[in-house]
């Protein structure tokens, strides 16, 4: 897709002014260059925001109130791969999976395919790069992933920046962990913080020994199905925190006519008190080196009334600082185009 967020004539819906800052947003470690801007909402939009907060807080308990005055911490997410278990579609008449099927901690869910998450995380601890893999569940509300058929005994994982969907059986989880974690690490080969405390030589020797002992991929390759699209994710882990659970469907409703990407609700990504939380993944294509590039932008404190403002400025190449949680540039391993 050429554009991640397409806006059909929303200027009449947005009444905001911005004060540009004359430097690039250095917090956004992304391939695309965005300007870093502050935001001043006019009286009409601010009134709509106040109404949003009042209405949402009326649906929440006293311990889960939204506070728009809390400053959003600028913590850039650190990971090199994002795996998302695609929730099976809900049966007619049932609540969506993000509302009823996701327990407070997905790792505690013993029902397949969610039970795959705990086992996969356990296996990833014993791989070379497993610690840098973020794992969630998603419930797709728009896009081809919403219609993929469920295969008995298989769990479907969307992997970014692989831009692939992998179908993994219960007996394949360890092999899949070795694949995405780039090989299993034997106990004596694992490089720990203690090795680095012993000095650069000690760590280097261990790394060299580990590299020389690997004559090739020590794991099975999973092919997967191509997914070369943009996707917008809204945190809506209802049983983890009611704030995201209440605001997520309203944000999805506002995003639906304004973005051209796929849409999905995602499980816990942290910062529930800063709801609504969004991740926007922009697929930038696959280069001549056969490497896929993806930009990931994380936002917080997004209200239904401010969705048009957020999207408008992204289309102009601007990131609104008070709502920005951080960004990351992701690159896949070389794979066939």
* DSSP, res 80: S
- Please tell me the predicted confidence (pLDDT) of residue 212: 45
248, 304 contact by CB (below 8 A): no
Rounded CA-CA distance 154/150 in Å is 8
CA distances 207 to 47, 49, 179, 213, 295, Å, are: 58, 53, 19, 10, 30
> Could you give the count of Cα atoms lying within 13 Å of 167 in the half-sphere of its Cβ?
11
Phi-psi map region of 158: left, alpha, beta (phi>0 left; psi -120 to 50 alpha): beta
- Please tell me the predicted confidence (pLDDT) of residue 335: 61
- Please tell me the predicted confidence (pLDDT) of residue 107: 86
Structural domain boundaries in the chain: 11-76+228-331, 81-137+152-212
Enter the tokens of residue 220: 């099975």
* DSSP, res 222: P
The torsion angles phi and psi of 265, rounded to 5 degrees, stand at -90, 135
Tokens 């809506």 label which residue?
236
Rounded CA-CA distance 238/275 in Å is 12
* Each residue's pLDDT expressed in tens, for the chain with a length of 337 residues: 444 444 333 333 333 444 433 333 344 478 888 998 987 788 888 888 888 878 887 887 888 887 888 888 766 678 999 999 999 887 776 777 766 778 778 888 888 999 999 999 999 999 999 999 999 999 999 999 998 877 888 999 999 999 999 999 999 999 999 999 999 987 645 555 555 556 666 656 555 555 444 444 567 899 999 999 999 999 998 667 778 888 899 999 999 999 999 999 999 988 878 888 999 999 999 988 889 999 999 999 999 999 999 999 999 999 999 999 999 899 998 765 4
For Cα atoms 39, 45, 51, give the angle at the middle one, nearest 5 degrees. Answer: 120
DSSP structure string for 311-330: HHHHHTTEEEGGGEEEEEEE
Tell me the pTM: 0.81
Enter the tokens of residue 89: 């579609």
Return the CATH superfamily for domain 11-76+228-331. Answer: Glutaredoxin (3.40.30.10)
């Amino acid at each position: 897709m050429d554009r991640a967020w397409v806006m059909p004539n929303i200027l009449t819906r947005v009444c905001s002014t911005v004060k540009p800052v004359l430097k690039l947003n250095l917090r956004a470690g992304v391939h695309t260059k965005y300007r870093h801007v502050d935001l001043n909402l006019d009286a009409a939009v601010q009134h709509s925001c106040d109404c949003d907060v009042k209405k949402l807080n009326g649906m929440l308990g006293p311990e889960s109130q939204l506070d728009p005055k809390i400053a959003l911490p600028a913590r850039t997410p650190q990971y090199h791969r994002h795996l998302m278990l695609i929730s099976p579609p809900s049966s007619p008449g049932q609540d969506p999976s993000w509302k009823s099927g996701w327990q407070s901690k997905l790792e505690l869910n013993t029902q397949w395919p969610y039970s795959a998450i705990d086992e996969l995380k356990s296996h990833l601890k014993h791989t070379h790069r497993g610690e840098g893999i973020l794992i969630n569940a998603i419930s797709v509300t728009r896009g081809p992933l919403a219609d993929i058929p469920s295969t008995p005994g298989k769990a479907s994982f969307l992997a970014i920046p692989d831009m692939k969907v992998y179908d993994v059986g219960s007996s394949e989880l360890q092999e899949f962990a070795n694949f995405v974690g780039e090989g299993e690490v034997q106990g004596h080969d694992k490089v720990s913080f203690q090795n680095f405390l012993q000095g650069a030589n000690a760590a280097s020797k261990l790394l060299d020994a580990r590299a020389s002992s690997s004559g090739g991929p020590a794991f099975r390759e999973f092919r997967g199905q191509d997914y070369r699209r943009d996707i917008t994710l809204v945190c809506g882990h209802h049983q983890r925190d009611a704030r995201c659970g209440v605001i997520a469907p309203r944000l999805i409703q506002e995003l639906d006519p304004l973005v051209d990407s796929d849409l999905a609700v995602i499980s816990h990504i942290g910062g529930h008190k800063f709801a609504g939380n969004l991740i926007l993944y922009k697929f930038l294509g696959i280069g001549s080196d056969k490497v896929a590039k993806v930009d990931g932008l994380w936002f917080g404190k997004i209200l239904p009334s401010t969705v048009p403002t957020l999207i408008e400025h992204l289309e102009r190449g601007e990131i609104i600082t008070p709502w920005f949680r951080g960004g990351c540039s992701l690159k896949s391993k070389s794979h066939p185009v």
